[in-house]
């Protein structure tokens, strides 16, 4: 039954992507398409006193300039703008709503013209006068005013007291700056005016149905009048979980002109969207002399906007990973005059575990204990936050296999002890952890008499490999060769799926396909029974499988009927089934993925140049549906971790309340030359409790732990502990 699941199947959408046939949101050209260019604010806070678009409107080819003064109607109520994943508290941003300026680079006008270049030119002719107000964009300046937000992981014992009584202690702060996703594709929406009030919206989004509901409620449209499509997305990483303002602007433009409109953000304008919030991670960890953890305090203070409370779980991971009798977790938010942060790859964990695993390394140094040993000393077989067992947790194997593959046993623990010519060599490690989430999702299968199946679901494949794993799962569940499966995704009219994020799509969508395939099998069996002298006349549903294009008895493969014969007999040319799958409510077990990350850095002793020469990431994430695409997910996560550790920082000039590296030349992400040997190990982790397939998802776990492992390796190489990311070379110049 598992001809494809678990194999390194090449991407089924690969050909479309290597030939340029795959179409992204800005690539749907239609006759009479109007191009929208966005104008954004140059101040961070205040209001628009005067906005004169008369010169822009004089340009031949400009059809209109939309501002807060002349835009079409949109909803006033906050609730109407709350998408599926909006923060609970707050008033979502809506473009061109009023004269208020809440952050620098806020959109203030949309210039609509018959050619892109004309719109861009006319946008330079807008005359804007602002009434500025004092703004604050510096987390440290607002830190004292930060307020506490409730988080699931609760304190246990008396951490401050236990910490004070601990024989060996470490306490410090770690800082992660604002980081931007910078997916390669610019945020874009093409709204096709279909007539009769109907809109087809090609949007860069990780959730077509989320955007569909959002457009309907914000613009008072009927559900049947709005179709949202995102079959391919040029990178999301969380940036496209919530509807972004390009789609609202494109809809406004289409409504104003009653024509098709495309809006594409510039790279600079994408710095006015969401981001990973700057976060101060304060850790205090105490242990007895033998390394037994005794106390852990983790306090996070993160940025949010003035208008929404966005936060994720930075704290609490220590209670999932380790056994400490006394813990205290506090999460605070500071409001700044910036746009609302949003999810970015492993939100909360990438930042929180960086702090936690850096502190654990410092504790290991203080204890003179091997960092892996320290972690094994406090290894927890239960989720201590909720006091429950795991569905599975093979983290111990991750440490063992990762360390062996890396050669960890050859490490000299002394900082600055290992060299390669002019370079200091550092070996560092860290643990990683993420949640194995799963959501209700539906799928449709249309099986035709020639043994082909169309599988569809509204889920988006943002590069994660959803097309491919669903084709594998469907091929196995239907007993067909994978070439006979075609998968359709990213269309709001398809069966329900959650937004693509949090690593939950693999489990969610694959089980929807399995459940639907079971319905197909049931119908095939019923039809097979009606055939005269059917070899399956007395077979029960649980006794048959689909394989080799046939439905057959599990016990006797000769008792089989081909799909073609069943269809011919029943006179049907196809079987269509749609089924929504929900996972059973069960909070008795913790569901997590884990990793152990081992890193080698080489650092020029005089010049500070840091090279990450080797990474081994050993991952326990249940069953791996596709070892090729899943390994790519982990490699990608490691590359992100390298960027987070060494390169990435959104730089604000707080005087202007403005991002000064709003581009992809000075906002550094790793380039090819920065990336060397990355080895991915998937530790065997059978999990019969979590779900039928034992799938946990791998999108986030790859990044978690990597920044700390690198920071720890940098310390081991240089003896310098850098506690604020990114670790640029000036911070290690002795």
Letters for 265-304 (x = contact with other proteins by CB under 8 A, - = none) are -xx-------------------------------------
- Start-end of H helices in 111-158: 116-123, 139-142
Instruction: Pick between residue 208 and residue 639 the one whose CB is nearest to other proteins.
Output: 639
- The SS3 of residue 386 is coil
SS3 (DSSP) at 659:
strand
Name the DSSP class of 630. H
Q: Which of residues 616-645 bind other proteins (CB under 8 A)?
A: 628-629, 631-633, 635-640
Residues in 8-27 that interact with other proteins by CB under 8 A: 10-11, 13-24, 26-27
Tokens matching residue 401: 């296999």
Binding range to other proteins, per CB under 8 A, among 325-333, 376-384, 441-449, 456-464: 456-464
Residue closer to other proteins, measured from CB, 278 or 296: 278
Report the b/e string of 267-276 with b at 16+ CB within 10 A. eebbbbbbbb
Q: Is 190 in the site for other proteins (CB under 8 A)?
A: no
Is the CB of 19 or the CB of 587 nearer to other proteins?
19
Report the residue from 249, 254, 264, 442 that binds other proteins according to the rule CB under 8 A: 264
Q: How many other CB atoms are found less than 10 A from the CB of residue 663?
A: 14
Judged by CB under 8 A, the number of residues near other proteins is 108
User: Least distance from C-beta 45 to other proteins, angstroms?
Assistant: 14
Closer residue to other proteins, CB minimum distance, 290 or 666: 666
Is 700 known to be catalytic?
yes
**Strand, helix or coil at 455?**
strand
Give the contact letters, 127-146, x = binds to other proteins (CB under 8 A), - = no: xxxx----------------
Helices assigned H by DSSP within 159-277: 159-165, 208-218, 245-257
Give whichever of 138 and 578 is closer to other proteins, judged by the CB atom.
Answer: 138
Beta carbon of residue 105, minimum distance to other proteins (angstroms, whole number): 9
Q: How far is CA 17 from CA 202, 468, 487, in A?
A: 18, 13, 15
- How many Cα atoms sit within 13 Å of 391 on the Cβ side? 26
Minimum Å gap between C-beta 418 and other proteins is 15
Nearer to other proteins, 60 or 532 (CB): 60
Q: How far apart are CA 299 and CA 284, in angstroms?
A: 9
**d(C-alpha 222, C-alpha 226), whole Å:** 7
Q: Where do the DSSP E strands lie in 563-609?
A: 574-581, 592-604
Query: Which residues 646-665 are close enough to bind other proteins by CB under 8 A?
Result: 646-647, 651, 653, 655-656, 658, 660-665
Q: Report the relative pairing of strands 107-113 and 34-40 from DSSP bridges.
A: antiparallel
Among 285, 445, 599, 678, the residue binding other proteins under the rule CB under 8 A is 678
| Comparison of 148 and 660: residue with beta carbon closer to other proteins | 660
**What whole-number distance in Å separates Cα of residue 241 and Cα of residue 259?**
27
For other proteins, the closer of residues 526 and 660 by Cβ is: 660
* Residue that has been written with the tokens 């104008």 in this structure: 39
C-alpha closest to that of 433 among 100, 117, 150, 706: 706
Given a contact cutoff of 8 angstroms between Cβ atoms, the answer to whether 37 and 113 are in contact is yes
Residue 198, CB half-sphere, CA atoms under 13 Å: how many? 7
| Helical H segments across 548-693, by residue range | 563-570, 627-646
Q: Which residues of 525-551 are buried (b: 16+ CB within 10 A; e: fewer)?
A: bebbeebeebbbeebeeeebbbbbbbb
361 binds other proteins (CB under 8 A): no
Q: How far is the CB of 407 from other proteins (least distance, A)?
A: 19
How far apart, in Å, do the first and last CA atoms of the chain sit? 59
Asked if 422 interacts with other proteins (CB under 8 A), we say yes
Least Å from the CB of residue 658 to other proteins: 6
Minimal distance, residue 234 CB to other proteins, in Å: 3
User: Footprint of other proteins on residues 95-134 (CB under 8 A)?
Assistant: 104, 115-118, 120-122, 124-130
Residue list 565-624, contact with other proteins (CB under 8 A): 602, 604, 606-609, 611
Q: Among 140-148, 177-185, 483-491, 493-501, which window interacts with other proteins (CB under 8 A)?
A: 177-185
User: Cα 622 vs. chain centroid, distance in angstroms?
Assistant: 19
Residues numbered 465-504 forming contacts with other proteins, rule: CB under 8 A: 465
The interaxial angle of helices 563-570 and 505-529, nearest 10 deg, is 60
Token duo for residue 111: 């210039």
Is 673 a binding residue for other proteins by CB under 8 A? The answer is: yes
Beta carbon nearer to other proteins, 1 or 607: 607
Selected from 67, 137, 166, 182, the binder of other proteins by CB under 8 A is 182
Interacting residues with other proteins between 500 and 539 (CB under 8 A): none
Nearer to other proteins, 332 or 658 (CB): 658
409: buried, middle or exposed (CB in 10 Å: 19+, 13-18, 0-12)? Answer: exposed
By CB under 8 A, the residues from 695 to 714 that bind other proteins are none
Least distance CB 128 / other proteins (angstroms): 5
DSSP state of 585: P
**Least distance in angstroms from the C-beta of 647 to other proteins:** 6
Question: Can you state the angle between helices 627-646 and 706-718, rounded to 10 degrees?
Answer: 50
Find the part of the chain contacting other proteins (CB under 8 A) among 298-306, 327-335, 566-574, 672-680: 672-680
**In this chain, which stretch among 216-224, 263-271, 440-448, 502-510 interacts with other proteins, using CB under 8 A?**
263-271
Please, what is the minimum distance in Å from the beta carbon of residue 135 to other proteins?
A: 14
Name the residue nearer to other proteins (CB basis): 22 or 80.
22
Among 464, 593, 595, 691, binds other proteins (CB under 8 A): 464
Asked whether the CA dihedral 335, 336, 338, 344 is positive or negative, the reply is negative
User: What's the closest the beta carbon of residue 674 comes to other proteins, in angstroms?
Assistant: 5
Q: For the segment 228-257, give every residue that binds other proteins (CB under 8 A).
A: 232-237
CB of 559 closer than 8 Å to CB of 552? yes
Using rule CB under 8 A, residue 426 touches other proteins: no
113, two tokens: 């013209």
For 472-506, give the DSSP string. HHHHHHHT--GGGEEEE-SBTTSSP---S-TT-HH
We find the least distance from the C-beta atom of residue 425 to other proteins, in angstroms, to be 12
**Which window, 153-161, 367-375, 415-423, 435-443, contacts other proteins (CB under 8 A)?**
415-423
The correct pick among 75, 376, 572, 675 for binding other proteins (CB under 8 A) is: 675
Separation in Å, CA 483 to CA 18, 449, 472, 512: 18, 15, 10, 20
The residue annotated as part of the active site, out of 246, 299, 435, 700, is 700
DSSP state of 706: H
Give the residue, chosen from 75, 80, 149, 186, that forms a contact with other proteins under the rule CB under 8 A.
Answer: 186
- Residue 641 CB coordination number (10 Å): 31
Could you tell me the smallest distance in angstroms from the CB atom of residue 487 to other proteins?
15
Window of 183-191, 215-223, 316-324, 397-405 that interacts with other proteins by CB under 8 A: 183-191
Output 519 or 604, the one with its CB closest to other proteins: 604
Closest contact distance (angstroms) between CB of 604 and other proteins is: 5
Q: What is the DSSP string of 321-372?
A: HB--SEEEEEEEEEEESSPPP---SSTTHHHHHHHHHHHHHHHHHHHT--HH
DSSP state of 55: H
Which lies closer to other proteins via its Cβ, residue 446 or residue 664? 664
Residues taking part in catalysis: 700
């Amino acid at each position: 039954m598992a001809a494809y699941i678990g194999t390194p199947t090449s991407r089924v959408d690969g050909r479309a992507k290597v030939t340029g046939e795959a179409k992204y949101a800005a690539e749907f050209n239609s006759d009479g398409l109007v191009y929208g260019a966005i104008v954004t604010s140059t101040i961070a806070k205040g209001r628009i006193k005067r906005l004169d678009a008369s010169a822009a409107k004089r340009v031949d080819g400009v059809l209109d300039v939309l501002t807060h003064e002349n835009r079409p109607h949109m909803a006033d109520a906050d609730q109407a703008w709350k998408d599926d994943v909006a923060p609970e508290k707050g008033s979502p941003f809506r473009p061109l709503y009023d004269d208020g300026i809440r952050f620098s680079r806020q959109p203030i006008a949309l210039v609509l013209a018959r050619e892109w270049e004309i719109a861009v030119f006319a946008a330079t002719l807008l005359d804007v006068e602002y009434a500025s107000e004092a703004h604050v964009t510096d987390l440290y300046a607002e830190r004292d005013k930060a307020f506490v937000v409730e988080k699931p992981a609760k304190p246990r014992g008396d951490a401050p007291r236990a910490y004070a009584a601990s024989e060996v202690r470490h306490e410090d702060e770690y800082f992660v700056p604002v980081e931007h996703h910078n997916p390669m594709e610019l945020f874009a929406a093409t709204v096709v005016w279909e007539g009769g009030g109907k809109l087809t919206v090609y949007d860069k989004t990780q959730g077509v149905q989320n955007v569909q509901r959002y457009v309907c409620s914000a613009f008072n449209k009927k559900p049947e009048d709005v179709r949202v499509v995102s079959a391919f997305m040029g990178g999301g990483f969380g940036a496209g979980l919530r509807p972004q303002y390009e789609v609202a602007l494109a809809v406004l433009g289409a409504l104003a002109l009653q024509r098709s409109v495309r809006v594409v953000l510039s790279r600079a304008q994408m710095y006015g969207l969401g981001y990973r919030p700057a976060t101060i991670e304060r850790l205090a960890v105490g242990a007895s002399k033998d390394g037994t953890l005794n106390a852990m305090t983790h306090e996070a203070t993160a940025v949010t906007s003035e208008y929404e409370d966005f936060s994720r779980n930075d704290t609490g991971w220590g209670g999932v990973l380790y056994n400490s009798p006394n813990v205290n977790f506090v999460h605070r938010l500071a409001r700044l005059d910036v746009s609302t942060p949003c999810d970015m790859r492993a939100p909360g964990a990438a930042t929180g575990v960086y702090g936690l695993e850096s502190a654990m390394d410092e504790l290991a140094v203080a204890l003179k204990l091997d960092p892996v040993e320290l972690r094994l000393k406090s290894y927890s077989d239960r989720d201590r936050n909720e006091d429950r067992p795991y569905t599975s947790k093979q983290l111990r194997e991750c440490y063992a296999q990762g360390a062996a593959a890396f050669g960890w046993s050859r490490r000299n623990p002394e900082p600055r002890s290992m060299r390669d010519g002019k370079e200091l060599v550092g070996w560092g490690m860290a643990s990683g952890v993420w949640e194995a989430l799963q959501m209700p999702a539906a799928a449709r299968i249309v099986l035709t008499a020639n043994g082909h199946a169309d599988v569809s679901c509204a889920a988006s494949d943002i590069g994660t490999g959803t097309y491919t794993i669903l084709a594998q799962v469907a091929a196995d569940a239907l007993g067909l060769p994978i070439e006979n499966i075609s998968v359709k995704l990213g269309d709001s009219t398809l069966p329900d799926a959650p937004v693509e994020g949090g690593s939950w799509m693999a489990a969610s969508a694959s089980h929807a396909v399995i459940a639907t395939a079971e319905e197909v099998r049931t119908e095939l069996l019923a039809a097979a029974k009606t055939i005269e002298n059917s070899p399956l006349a007395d077979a029960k549903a649980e006794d048959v499988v689909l394989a080799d294009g046939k439905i057959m008895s599990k016990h006797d493969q000769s008792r089989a009927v081909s799909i073609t014969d069943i269809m011919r007999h029943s006179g049907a040319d196809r079987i269509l089934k749609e089924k929504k799958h929900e996972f059973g409510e069960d909070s008795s077990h913790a569901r997590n993925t884990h990793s152990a990350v081992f890193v080698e850095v080489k650092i020029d002793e005089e010049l500070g140049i840091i090279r990450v020469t080797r990474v081994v990431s050993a991952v326990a994430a249940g069953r791996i549906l596709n070892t090729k695409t899943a390994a790519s997910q982990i490699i990608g996560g490691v590359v992100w971790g390298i960027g987070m550790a060494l390169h990435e920082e959104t730089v604000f000039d707080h005087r202007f309340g403005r991002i000064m590296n709003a581009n992809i030349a000075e906002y550094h992400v790793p380039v090819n030359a920065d990336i060397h040997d990355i080895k991915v190990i998937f530790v065997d982790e059978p999990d019969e409790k979590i779900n039928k397939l034992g799938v946990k998802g791998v999108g986030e776990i790859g990044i978690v732990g990597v920044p700390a492992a690198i920071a720890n390796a940098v310390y081991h190489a240089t003896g310098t502990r850098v506690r604020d990311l990114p670790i640029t070379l000036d911070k290690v110049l002795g």
